[in-house]
Amino acid sequence: MPSRSSHSLLPKLLLSLGTLVLLPCALEGGARLILLFLGKGEAPLNVGWSEPDSAEAAAGLRHRMFQPDPKLFFRLRPGLELEETVNSKVFGVRTNRWGMRGDECEKKKPPGTTRLLSVGDSCVFGSGADTDHTFPSQLGDFLRKLHPEKSIESLNSGVLGFTSFQARTYLESEGFDFEPDAVVIVCGTNDSMAATAGPKRSFGNRKFMTDREYSEAVKPPAPWAIQRLIQRLKSKPVGKAIVVDEDGNASAKRRVSREEYAENLRAMIQQCRARNIVPALVAWPMEVQVVEGEPRHRRGSRPSPQNPRFTETEMGTIHYQEIARQIAGEEQAVLVDLVELMEGHGEWFVDGLHLNAEGYGFVAERLARALGPHLF
């Protein structure tokens, strides 16, 4: 015969079971009502890019070089064999099956091999030089000369237009799978750019969207209403060209804010440390910082009120260089500050930012000497 305690326990169990079933239903129903009240939100954006300009339309360069990517927004197509033009100079572009600029490699590192991975923007990609003359390619060459007894690989995952947000996303999603012993990080110029729609981040022309906001905007809708409501409440308003910080200071909205840039660099360095990978940051110079007088490409540009020697855009890049130096110091990462090292070498620049083969060779040599003691 059942005891009294078993009779009293049964209703409690049924009540608990009912609560477990009904509470999620109630939350889901409530979320649907709130979303109905809020009205229809903007549909997720499609990852892609706008129509290329007339010069690129003729060659179809953008559509031949890039492919859309749901996490990275865009990336290099694998198996490329084409030519890039910078200031009327033609350079060969070759990518492997992973979409990296360079030769084929296995994702799993060969036994006994020291592997370096360079991530970041067009300076890593090596605009202005052939595939074998980018700094990641020459970095491997210099290290093999300094350490001929070692097996060394240097991989180039740089992509034109990448920010620190995309470099971090790449590292976290697939870069670490290549088992690097060192990671070289070069980004900041694109981070400091205005958060407007661009050819590879396509959205309304009157909107201003950071990379983080764009990443949220291209995500497909969540299956449950409660998830969609949380996403809606967490989303930041887009469309404003000016942002105001906690202290009331107004500034132009950038693809990656200074605070997020510092956060991204710090996160990449710390994730490298957690995997016993040597992290290295590069402060990349602009031509105007290393030459006397006015570089040809910026004649007629509006000078910045902060420093008449530089334009507003150039001052933004300089601020991000300062952040890279600061984070490298705080996190004790290897830092190669090219702004000072390349003083007086304007002949290495093919435009205001990118270098020729000799310039990339100088970068590679400096990195090889800075990283060598940490790797061997």
| Mean pLDDT in residue range 333-361 | 96
Q: pLDDT tens digit string along 212-266? A: 998 988 887 666 666 656 765 666 656 676 666 555 566 789 999 999 999 999 9
Gap between the Cα atoms of 259 and 255, Å rounded = 12
In tens, the pLDDT along 140-171 reads 999 999 999 999 999 999 999 999 999 999 99
Bridge partners (DSSP) listed for residue 244:
250
Q: Note the pLDDT of residue 61.
A: 63
At 294-332, the pLDDT tens digits run 665 555 566 677 777 788 888 889 999 999 999 999 999
Which is higher by pLDDT, 95 or 9?
Answer: 95
- Supply the pLDDT for residue 54: 47
Helix (H) / strand (E) containing 274: helix 258-274
Contact present, 184 and 162 (Cβ < 8 Å):
no
The class (CATH top level) of 78-193+254-375 is alpha beta
Return the sign of the alpha-carbon dihedral for residues 143, 145, 146, 152.
positive
Backbone phi and psi for residue 176, each to the nearest 5 degrees, phi listed first: -65, -20
* pLDDT, mean over the chain: 85
* 323-328, long-range: CB < 8 A, 24+ apart: 323/188, 323/258, 323/261, 323/262, 323/265, 324/188, 324/265, 324/281, 324/282, 324/283, 325/283, 326/262, 327/262, 327/265, 327/266, 327/269, 327/281, 328/265, 328/269, 328/281
Query: Average of pLDDT values for 287-298?
Result: 74
DSSP assignment of 68-107 equals EETTTEEEEPTT-EEEEEETTEEEEEEB-TTS-BSS---S
Q: What are phi and psi of 112, to 5 degrees?
A: 80, 5
Report the pLDDT value the prediction gives residue 218, as an integer from 0 to 100. Answer: 84
Straight-line distance from the first to the last Cα atom of the chain, in angstroms, rounded to the nearest whole number: 78
CA dihedral 15, 19, 20, 24 (to 10 degrees): 170
CA dist 61 and 292 (Å) reads 35
Please say if the pLDDT value at position 15 is more than 80.
no
Model pLDDT, residue 121: 98
- Cβ 20 vs Cβ 192: under 8 Å: no
Going by C-alpha positions, the residue among 279, 319, 367 that lies closest to residue 188 is 319
Is the pLDDT assigned to residue 39 strictly greater than 70?
no
Residue 325 to residue 260: CA distance in whole angstroms: 15
**pLDDT at residue 58 in the model:** 42
Please give the full DSSP string across 313-337, using - where no structure is assigned: HHHHHHHHHHHHHHHHHHHT-EEEE
The pLDDT-based confidence of 76 (bands split at 50, 70, 90) is very high
Nearest to 354 by CA among 170, 91, 142, 117: 91
What residue segments make up the domains of the chain, in order of their start?
A: 14-65+198-240, 78-193+254-375
What are the tens digits of pLDDT across the range 213-227? 989 888 876 666 666
Higher pLDDT, 138 or 17: 138
